[in-house]
Structure 1
Amino acid sequence: MLTNTLSQGSYTSDDYNPIAKKYVKSPNINIRNAPINGKIVGSLKQGQSVLVYDRISSWERISKENQQPKWVSSSLLCSGEGCYINSSKNYIKSNLNSPKTKSTTSRTHKSTSSSYGGSCPCSSSSNCFGPRGGRYCITSGGNKRYR
């Protein structure tokens, strides 16, 4: 490999400097050969570090100019060591736990409302509970009225 000094105005082919170091914040991301609709050529796992060599819109090139192009979406990367720890894992855990809590609540409320024959007339003090925990009653016209 030929190497010239900086005073001669040249550099080696290995002198591609990254513009940033980022980390994968999602559990698994695809590497593409072109931004947007590129073919999937690989994947990265959460916490892996990547060097960014170029940026186009919301896509970042993680390969040097003399290598096969590898692009990832900017929204799936974060800056700073450990930035990925509190990102998607906690988001996924909270989303997995939330529906279980809601469905348990809904089942409890459904059994309460079924003891009133499935209807909850507004003339009584009973309530029906919607799938997201909202309370309502059924008017004499058959419409729901939220309480």
Structure 2
Amino acid sequence: MKALLNPNEENKKALDQSFKNHHFHLKFLSYLSKTLHFNAVRYDQKRRRDHNKNLLILDAPARNDESTPSIIDQLSDTNQDLEKMIFSRLSTIDEHLSDDKLVKKFNTLTPIQKEVLTLYYLYSYTDSEIAQFQKKSQQSVFKTRKRALLKLKQRLRE
């Protein structure tokens, strides 16, 4: 504004420098924007290419031998059966505890409490994942876990 109201060399140089700074920022932002755009496009192309190369074809035979059943035929009908089969083979926390007193106190918990503690602490499942598996609410799993820990704590103090 000074350059328009009071047009001298100093004000013109200040206006010119201000415009150069503004122009540099615009060009820099444009460069960043274009770089992000092209990198996103390249990433998407690479992801699609890799995805198309590594397709899982479920109706293909499991091996090169045509007499073997397809992968989809070998899968269980329900996810729940598969999860129950997997969880039935999992070890529990008491198999990993070295303190006999703690093992005895752990074995006084209900089977549900043992299962929740095992899934949460040994296999790093979230409360939501455990709730989905047990067909309960996340809040119920959280309360079960907290009650089990309180019960253990109280019994260890005895």
Which of the pair has more CA radius of gyration?
2
TM (norm. structure 2) is 0.27
TM (norm. structure 1) is 0.29
Higher percent of residues as strand: 1
Higher percent of residues as helix: 2
Higher relative contact order (CA 8 A, sep 6+): 1
